[in-house]
Chain A
Amino acid sequence: MAAATEYLEISGLSKDYEGCRALDDLCLCLGRGEFLTLFGPNGAGKSTLLRIIATLTSPTSGRVRVRGFDLEEDAAKFRMQLGFISHHSLLYDQMTAMENLVFYGSLYAIADPEARALELLRQVDLHHRRHQRVGGFSRGMRQRLSIARALVNDPAILLLDEPFTGLDQEASALLAERLLLLRQWQRTVIMVTHDMDRGLAMADRIGILVSGRLVFLARRDHIDPAAFAGLYRAALAGEVMS
């Protein structure tokens, strides 16, 4: 992807938690429609990176820009460009699927939140459940609705934090199918996962984060999936640099 179409620019990003460095001088650029999967052990800083981009946590130093909007200087416009999916649904159990999407759509000042909500509910196959409260939804249904919630503002960048956690095989397959649609819709995606098979299958760039440092970053088509597990182990041992 050409640098001229960069949607996400991260430079010199660091984050300290009470003296412990969670992210260390991280630099990364992603273009429109790129899908980056980030692997790494627990505590590597993957979720911290997503939370900083999502403006849920402040960086200690460094800069993040999305489509030219700076995280610090244009926080509201910056957030308009983002969607965030984690293993938590961020949905209100007491509200129906439709009400949840209309509420979030209204927060993003969408012209017709009802129409947008209906469109998204059809896309995630929950249209027939639109008047049911989310509290009664299965984990898989919640996650599909969570995708709809994250897309309600038509974001340029989607952040996925372990989206497959807690899903059964069928729900995981369905979610993977929906996530692949994001590529067709030209969304720029960063996905953090421990699921190597799915992570490799979906991405067109692969990164490995270890102790807050991006120790490996390469295009998916330059990686042999069969050898990736070994590459990952070597990266953890500090024997790989991209």
Chain B
Amino acid sequence: MRYAWLVIRKDLRTGLRRPQALLSMLFFGFLLLVILNVAVPAGTAVAPETGAGILWVAITFAAVLGLGRTVAQEKENRCLEGLLLSPLSPEALFGAKMTVNFLLICLAQAAILPLFFILYGDGFLRGIPMLLLVLLTANAGFAATGTLCSAITAGTGRNEALLPMLFFPLVMPLIAMAVKVSGMIFAAEEPARYSSWLQVMAAFACIFTGLGFLVTGRVIRD
């Protein structure tokens, strides 16, 4: 835990000094929301399911931009080797990188979400606490899957190109569930109707977190 905290602190420090990852996530997320908003005919109310789809398109594509950076930055000057030479365990490394990715996605969402409400109307402000729960659960799944995929692709030298090819097929069920549940929240449906979906999303996050802890040690070294 102490080792993981050291890496988290280091990543946050370097991330603040070079905020390209966060800025590119925000820029891409904003751009998608604006483009999709232009595509909606003026004066037309966006259906709850459509709104949920738009929100998750912006979040997913913004997230993938940032996910690869946290592991890829360790390739600069081969810093990853410095970490692997130390007593830091691969599990602690995975835990640290997953936490940083989770925080990065949360930060990006904190900026994307208000813009979504501004552009698509306050009708989507219904059920904010439940929406936050969905976002946090999906973020955990994104962070776990993204960190695992980053670790797998980190040693290939084509991290940027391979990561989306590996990440999107794996995370597709999570995105589908997030869209479904968010749509039901925007439609003001009872939580009992979507709680089982939320549980499956939590299970997805747990499975990929466990998988990450198990396999990172094998994939991160040659």
User: Which residues in A have some Cβ–Cβ distance to B below 8 Å?
Assistant: 51, 54-58, 76-77, 79-80, 82, 84, 86, 88-95, 99, 103-104, 106-109, 149, 153
Contacts and interface: CB of A to CB of B under 8 A. Distances in A.
B17 A94 contact: yes
Contacts of A54: 81, 85
Nearest to B3: A107
Contact of B85 (A79, A89, A109): A79
Contacts of A80: 87
Given A57-B222, A58-B222, A84-B81, 4 more contacts: A82-B85, A86-B81, A91-B82, A95-B13
A109 B84 contact: no
Contact of A55 (B2, B3, B14, B85): B85
A64 to B, nearest CB: 14
Given A58-B222, A107-B88, A92 B14 contact: yes
B87 A76 contact: yes
A233 B127 CA distance: 77
A103 B10 contact: yes
Contacts of B89: 76
Interface in B52-106: 76-79, 81-89
Interface in B110-149: none
B6 interface: yes
Interface string B150-192: 0000000000000000000000000000000000000000000
Most chain A beta-carbon contacts within 10 A, residue among B14, B79, B83, B221: B79
Q: Which 6 A-B pairs have the closest CB atoms?
A: A90-B82, A107-B86, A88-B78, A94-B14, A57-B222, A76-B87
B6 A103 contact: yes
Contacts of B88: 107
26 contacts: A54-B85, A55-B84, A56-B81, A56-B84, A56-B85, A56-B221, A76-B89, A77-B87, A79-B87, A80-B87, A88-B78, A89-B77, A90-B79, A90-B81, A91-B79, A92-B76, A92-B77, A92-B79, A94-B13, A94-B17, A99-B13, A107-B6, A107-B86, A109-B2, A109-B87, A153-B86
Contacts of A89: 77-78
